Structure 1
């Protein structure tokens, strides 16, 4: 099968799940051509990545009239759909125009490559690309719909139109499926989880935890709930619980979080490590007793789906204490594969940490059940294989 794999930025640190998906597709023998519309690198593990040159959008001065001349009806239909709903933000407006424009500029390349399907990993710029590519070439497109693209500001500007046109809609959580099923034919919505290319070696939790080892791996942004997390650390220290915490990642809230750590007197307990490589993150998860995830709904409506670090930690033997917001509860069943606690109830987090620190059998039981969930639900080769089967059906 030949797939045109369209991303916003590829490969990038914050979207390792897409790298795993692409890796699994290549391993399955799929011929793929990867397009990155915005940023990323020129290659991925020796495989070329086509980074779209935004300067080439100047070609639209003559390519757009030509496209209307040849496919005026199809492009006029898209133009009418653009007037159905006002863009919620300038950024979302711009990324859709980028996707449309890139497809027009790259039309000849799409025709020459002759893919069986154009698979767009997000319902934002990539799906705009797929929508326009189908209008110009007749090649069907599929789209992912996962997190910010369906939640932030009520979802992408043209979300409903894209979902209706797509041959298949790939979601990775039940919460995403519930969000979009009313916007299109529910039969083409397929919930297929992401996955790990290789599971880390299973390990037994430490027999004793005189000092709890806690990690949080996340972009430093509003939806990760860091003000709540820092308050939890303050309460742990106040309760006399010995612990060491590492916040791994970078982002626009870095200075604010650093100031919060200092202001709460947590310098001796909580460290900001900055961005680490994928291999280094897995090493930290092997070191940790607990993973904290304090996700919330941001003011814009943005929220997590199922952060990939949650099943990564579950596979690595760290017990997850996670927020009930969004898709985390699909992996973390309270008292079975981890604990679910509202970030705004710090006393509950303290109670769970106390239990986990003193009860090795509880940590072993939760860790074992969590690993079993990952082995059942979160293996990239198996899940990507199912995605491939679905794409083969709709492209036929």
Structure 2
């Protein structure tokens, strides 16, 4: 009988997820490159994607983990269980959420170990450095399966970063991050630079580049964001109030959903913006493109949240740049890797609403500036945000990671959580 072709086990926290369309693009592009994939969603998700089944994690399986798998592995793999218990009881997690994220990943590995061992993956890839990477690390400790990890802004900055981040990254074949900001942070934390691959997300097809609207009055302003602290939408509403006070006619749409919606709507009412600002809620991706076709300017008012979380480079910024929508952004996080002042867009501090008023007035009135920025933005996207080019690099990383080192037995690992 011919051996089964090697496959990659892709582990996600939740897949598919409407706010993470970039991961769906990655999977579709990897499929198109001919890689054999098996998809796993650790929290919710499931169904199918592009014809591939998405296995989700039924939490009832955790009963078996606690009653059978943990006791059995205490006998079979005492070093692994010692390290796990030592980490849990001697090191404080940065947050309860991150504690349970890591427990979820470990529980998934314990629950799916027997099933996945029947057809072992050539590589396990955790799309995030939380639960998915924990599962990959535990599989490596149990069976020696090579694994790789995606480490992005949430993994690095939320409450100071993931609980077991460095242990998981230490033995990964490679680490995928999508921004130079992420690379610098990883290097600062001691990760070898040659292990880090900066591979941006990308667009599989570039949208039509719309013409500049000749008379931009009222100015059409758009924000596409989850309604969470790191998006700085309270600052954005104050910017709209300053625009109104300055006598600049505008219409604004805020696309997205989140826990801050009620507070933001109350703030908009207090600032007397009901006639100018509309909250649309979450929209499907085709409707998002419709909103970009409507807009003159995309506003991104990202900040560092009290938890430390921040954006990397939100996908909506390159999407807007590709479509011919002008962009004004705050200088926080990795947005300025794409938006270069006076070349591909404008940059303004969210604490200076009048700077945004000046920037938006310029974009509404100066056609030459607007065309220069639009052309520069489209050029940047074509050079840096082509999904086919970027995924080809990711495929090379996966193929290289699947080569090489002989697999070791489960009890040959004596690496504690403390190195």
The TM-score, its normalising length taken from structure 1, stands at 0.97
1:219 aligns to what?
226
Q: Within the alignment, does 1:123 sit opposite 2:135 as a pair?
A: no
Q: Distance in 2 between matches of 1:9 and 1:52?
A: 10
Q: Per-residue CA shift, 1:206-238, capped at 9, x if unaligned? A: 122121111000000000001110000000011
Moved more, 222-231 or 180-189: 180-189
Q: Distance in 2 between matches of 1:26 and 1:84?
A: 42
Q: Distance in 1 between matches of 2:15 and 2:27?
A: 10
2:71 aligns to what?
65
- Pick one of 168, 184, 206 that aligns with 1:162: 168
1:290 aligns to what?
297
Q: Distance in 1 between matches of 2:131 and 2:220?
A: 40
Aligned residues: 396
Aligned-residue CA RMSD in angstroms? 1.3
Post-superposition offset of 1:82: 4.4
Moved more, 68-77 or 7-16: 68-77
1:38 aligns to what?
43
Name the SS of the counterpart of 1:30 in structure 2.
coil
Post-superposition offset of 1:382: 1.4
Please tell me whether the aligned partners of residues 81 and 161 of structure 1 are also in contact (alpha carbons under 8 angstroms). no
1:47 aligns to what?
52
Q: Distance in 1 between matches of 2:132 and 2:306?
A: 25
2:155 aligns to what?
149
2:11 aligns to what?
6
Q: Per-residue CA shift, 1:167-189, capped at 9, x if unaligned? A: 11100011111111133222101
Post-superposition offset of 1:201: 1.1
Q: Distance in 1 between matches of 2:350 and 2:91?
A: 34
Moved more, 84-93 or 99-108: 84-93
Q: Within the alignment, does 1:336 sit opposite 2:343 as a pair?
A: yes
Q: Per-residue CA shift, 1:126-179, capped at 9, x if unaligned? A: 111111111112111101111111101100011111111211110001111111
Q: Distance in 1 between matches of 2:82 and 2:299?
A: 49
1:244 aligns to what?
251
Q: Distance in 2 between matches of 1:371 and 1:68?
A: 56
2:415 aligns to what?
none
1:245-394 mapped onto 2 (5 Å cutoff) = 245-394=252-401
1:93 aligns to what?
99
Please tell me whether the aligned partners of residues 217 and 309 of structure 1 are also in contact (alpha carbons under 8 angstroms). yes
Name the SS of the counterpart of 1:387 in structure 2.
helix
Q: Distance in 2 between matches of 1:184 and 1:163?
A: 7
Q: Within the alignment, does 1:135 sit opposite 2:124 as a pair?
A: no
Q: Distance in 1 between matches of 2:291 and 2:90?
A: 47
Q: Distance in 2 between matches of 1:81 and 1:56?
A: 23
Q: From the superposition, tell whether residues 194 and 101 of structure 1 become closer, same or farther in structure 2 (CA, over 3 Å).
A: same
Q: Distance in 1 between matches of 2:80 and 2:11?
A: 21
Q: From the superposition, tell whether residues 88 and 145 of structure 1 become closer, same or farther in structure 2 (CA, over 3 Å).
A: same
The TM-score, its normalising length taken from structure 2, stands at 0.92
Q: Distance in 1 between matches of 2:198 and 2:243?
A: 38
Q: Distance in 2 between matches of 1:41 and 1:364?
A: 44
Moved more, 297-306 or 374-383: 374-383
Q: Distance in 2 between matches of 1:140 and 1:83?
A: 27
